[in-house]
Every structure is written in structure tokens, then in C-alpha cells.
Amino acid sequence: MNDWHQILQRSIYRGFAQRLFRHVRPILTVFLIVAINIGLIGCGGSGGDRQMSGRSDTLAGVSKTLQESPPPNVIQLLSRELDVKPQVNITRPKSDQVLQDARVTVQFEVADLPAFKDDALSMGPHLHMIVDNQPYQAIYNPDEPLTLEDLDPGTHTIRVFASRPWHESFKNAEAYDQVRFHLFTRTPSSDIDAPLLTYSRPKGSYGSEPVMLDFYLNNVGLPAADQDAIAENIASDWKVRCTINGQAFTFDIWEPVYLKGLKPGNNWVQLELLDGGGNPIPGAYNNTARLITMTPDGDDTLSKLMRDELPIQEARAIVVPGYEPPPATLPTDVPVTPSSPMPEPSAEPIPAAEEPEPNKSSASASNEGGIAVDVPEPADLPNVDEFPPGLLIEETLPEIAPAAATPELEPEAQTTSTSNNGTDSAVESDAVESDATKNDIETLPEIIPASPVAP
């Protein structure tokens, strides 16, 4: 009896436990998954260099001094406007040619690249030409032949690729070409058909950060027709190790890297091509070092571009040949404060012109001679009759015309009358007398002497 009781009790407990576990199991599963994920995250973030898995993790093992920076805004805008795929070929010298002249002429054939240098900003699309493994030479007019001198006898290599104005290389396969030639004789040289790293930037002097790190890659595991895919995918068989002032980091994405944290003065930069396991890939050009100079607060165009101080309206001159910035205009969303109105000029009264005083001598002379002469007299002037006659005559003496004018009438009348006979002489005599009378009336104010005057 007790056995049956125990069996029944265990069955009840077992059924209850099963039903309880059936409801609790989903909750336990969720807690278990969360705990596992937390543990994995904690383990992945502890110690060691980061494994690169995308553009945000480009640099591995970067020191605290050096920091990666995004490209300046104006550089990003100009890159979109210069959306071309240049084709570059070296037409002279020929591949594997043996030359018997110390002067080597180099000629290029370039398409889909507006190569030029803006006069004002001293920048523009161009070519980077590297002879052997020397620092590149910028070529802004690839149509003109270039002469190389002072080359040692033996085997030499010329590498050339298209570059943007700020010295970033175009990454399409057609933008690169290389040729190996021999001067007088052949000597051992690096295999340019093997995996090859071509150092480009940084180079020379810099006046601002960030500093762009750039290079060119060939034969790194992808077919030549798929070279464009290198810049968009993570390669598994190569890496680039960069060392700046003894601080090293690696990356495996073929894109320019912008860095901050270089010290003022001299800085040395080294680029090495590695395989997927981090081992150096043999090749004379796969390990290159350069010395650069950092001088902050530079005023050159590249420094202004890196500081985002050059407006895009002005910077377009380095990507568009013959570009002229648009005239400056006031923004439409900025209210213009009206200027204060100009005061209207008040009308000032114009003073009346003063009438000239009448000739007092003429008026007095006409009154004394008894001949009526109308002389206007201003209302505000005293009447001429109020002055004593003697005083008026003495004041006008200097203005009396010479008395010799009157005798001139008599000879004229005599001459006229003697030259005619009969009735004509009488008519003419009457006319002369009439004219003389008229002249006497007109000249009377001038010939009546008030007192004896010496001629």
C-alpha cells in the first residue's frame, strides 16, 4: 500500500516538474544566449591588435600619438567632381630597349585626364613619374617630351600613374604604366611583374595636418582586369605596414589614409609590402622610406585644403581647366538693413538780381538840355533832381565822350551835297539835315558840355 502511495506521489511531482520546466525553458534559453554573447564580447575586446574588417578599422596597432582623420570636406567634394578614369601609357623608351645615349627621352600618351596647373593655386591634375625608386616627379604637361640625364649605365625602371591635384593616385588599372630599359648594358634589377608597391605620399614639406598616406599596388593577387575591386574589397594575401618615427601600424585596404599627430620638423615614413601572414614580400621597391618636414601654419594651397579653409567655389579651379569663380552675391536669406533716408535739400530763396544803377550823367544832361529822355529810375533810389546840378556835372565829367564826334557830321553832309546837282542835291540835303538832327538827338547826352572841357 505504501509502495503504491509513493509511486502515485512521485508521478504527481514528476508531472508538475515537467509542466513547470515547459514554461520556464524559453526564459532560461534567452538568459543563456545573452550570457554567451556578453562573454564573447568581453573576450574579443581584451588585449592585442585589432583585426581589420572594414574602412572604420583601417589601422591596426596605431599609437596614441598618430590618429586617423577623415578626408577634408573640400577634398571629398572635389573628388566627386573629378570623376574620371585616366589611361596612361609610356610610348618612349620601349620596354626592354637598350639605349646608347646618356640622355633618355620619355614620352607619354594620356587620355581622360585634364592635366594642367592652375596659375593662381599652383595645383591641378598631373602624373607622378618615378625613376627606379627615387621620389616622384610631378608632370603637368604630359604632351611634352621629358629628358632624363645623369643616369648610371645599367637597367632602369620608369613607373608612372595619374594623380589628383592633392597627389592622390587614381586606382583604376589603366591609370598606371611601367617600362624597364637598359642604358648601354643590362644589370640585375627588381622583377616588376611580381607583387609591387610604389611609394607616393607623403613627400617633401607640409604646412598643415592631416597628412595623406598614399601608394600604388600592382600584382597583389587579383587579375589586372579586376584591379578596381582592390579598393572596394579586403584582400587576404597582402598588407601594408607603415612606420612613422618608429611607430608602426598595418592596413589592407587600398585607399588613401589621412593622419594627424606628426611632430613639427623632420619625420621619417616607411612603407612595406607584406603577405597575408605579415611577412615581407621580396622586391627592391617593396620597402621604401622617405623623410618629410612638418611646418605648421602653412599658407600654400595644399595646407589650406587640408584645413578646409579653401571654399569650394575657389577650389574648383584645380579640377576644371579655365574655371572662373562666380561673382560674389549677397545671400537671399540674410535680411538687408535699409540705409537711413537721405535728407531732402531745403529750398533756399534765390536773392533777386540787383538792377544796375542808371547812368546819372545821361539823366542830368537830358534834364538840363530840355530834351525829354526816358530814363528808368528805381523806386528805392533818390531822385536825380535832389542832387545839386553842379555836383552831378562834376561827377559825370570823366565819362563824357570826346567832342570830336559832332564835327564829323558836317564833312559827310557836305561831301554828299556837292556830289549831286539839282533836285537830288536838295533832297539829299534835307536827308542829311534829318539824319544830323537824329544823330544830335541820339548823341545829345554825350556832346552837351556842362562846362568848357579841353579836347
Final residue in a domain of this structure, among 318, 348, 370: 318
Residue 179's domain is classified under what CATH number? 2.60.40.10
pLDDT score of 190: 81
Confidence of residue 353 (pLDDT cuts 50, 70, 90): low
Confidence of residue 191 (pLDDT cuts 50, 70, 90): confident
CA distance 90 to 100: 19
pLDDT tens, residue by residue, 55-92: 434 465 556 789 999 999 999 999 999 999 999 999 99
Helix, strand, or coil (residue 6): helix
pLDDT tens, residue by residue, 396-419: 445 555 555 444 444 444 444 444
Is 400 in contact with 451 (CB distance < 8 Å)? Answer: no
- The answer to whether residues 288 and 376 belong to one domain is no
- The answer to whether residues 302 and 216 belong to one domain is yes
Report the share of the chain in percent with pLDDT over 90: 49
Is 241 in contact with 271 (CB distance < 8 Å)? Answer: yes
- The answer to whether residues 413 and 292 belong to one domain is no
Residue 240's φ and ψ, nearest 5 degrees, are: -120, 125
Is 276 in contact with 252 (CB distance < 8 Å)? Answer: no
User: What is the bridge-based pairing of β-strands 154-163 and 176-183?
Assistant: antiparallel
Report the share of the chain in percent with pLDDT over 70: 55
- Residue 251 pairs in a beta bridge with 240
Note whether residue 326 is domain-resident.
Answer: no
pLDDT score of 436: 46
Structural domains of the chain, count: 2
Q: Which residue has the cell 533836285?
A: 423
Note whether residue 78 is domain-resident.
Answer: yes
Tell me which range, 313-327, 376-390, 393-407, is most confidently predicted by mean pLDDT.
313-327
- The answer to whether residues 309 and 371 belong to one domain is no
Cell (9 digits) for 48: 592585442
Note whether residue 175 is domain-resident.
Answer: yes
pLDDT score of 395: 47
Helix, strand, or coil (residue 201): strand
pLDDT score of 276: 86
Note whether residue 70 is domain-resident.
Answer: yes
83 against 225, higher pLDDT? 83
- The answer to whether residues 148 and 259 belong to one domain is yes
- The answer to whether residues 227 and 376 belong to one domain is no
Note whether residue 25 is domain-resident.
Answer: no
Range of the domain at 250: 57-318
- The answer to whether residues 227 and 365 belong to one domain is no
Residues 6+ apart with CB under 8 A from 128: 136, 137, 138, 139, 160, 161, 162, 163, 167, 169, 200
Note whether residue 325 is domain-resident.
Answer: no
Contacts for 30-33: CB closer than 8 Å, 24+ residues apart: none
| Gyration radius of the chain over CA positions | 56
pLDDT score of 135: 97
Examine the pLDDT at 354 and tell me if it is beyond 70: no
Is 116 in contact with 138 (CB distance < 8 Å)? Answer: no
CA distance 378 to 214: 102
- The answer to whether residues 141 and 282 belong to one domain is yes
Tell me which range, 137-141, 406-410, 422-426, is most confidently predicted by mean pLDDT.
137-141
Contacts for 439-444: CB closer than 8 Å, 24+ residues apart: 439/409, 440/406, 441/371, 443/401, 443/405, 443/406, 444/365, 444/366, 444/369, 444/371
Residue 19's φ and ψ, nearest 5 degrees, are: -65, -40
- The answer to whether residues 364 and 294 belong to one domain is no
Beta strands in 93-191 (DSSP E): 98-99, 104-111, 126-131, 137-139, 146-148, 154-163, 176-183
pLDDT score of 345: 57
Note whether residue 31 is domain-resident.
Answer: no
Tell me the average pLDDT across 13-17.
59
Q: Which one, of 243, 225, 339, lies nearest residue 288 by Cα?
A: 243
Note whether residue 79 is domain-resident.
Answer: yes
374 against 317, higher pLDDT? 317
- The answer to whether residues 148 and 213 belong to one domain is yes
Final residue in a domain of this structure, among 284, 318, 352: 318
Q: Residue 338: is the preceding peptide bond cis (ω within 30°)? A: no
- The answer to whether residues 313 and 373 belong to one domain is no
Final residue in a domain of this structure, among 288, 318, 348: 318
Region for 269 from its dihedrals, namely left if φ exceeds 0, alpha if ψ lies in -120 to 50, beta otherwise = beta
- The answer to whether residues 297 and 385 belong to one domain is no
Examine the pLDDT at 119 and tell me if it is beyond 80: yes
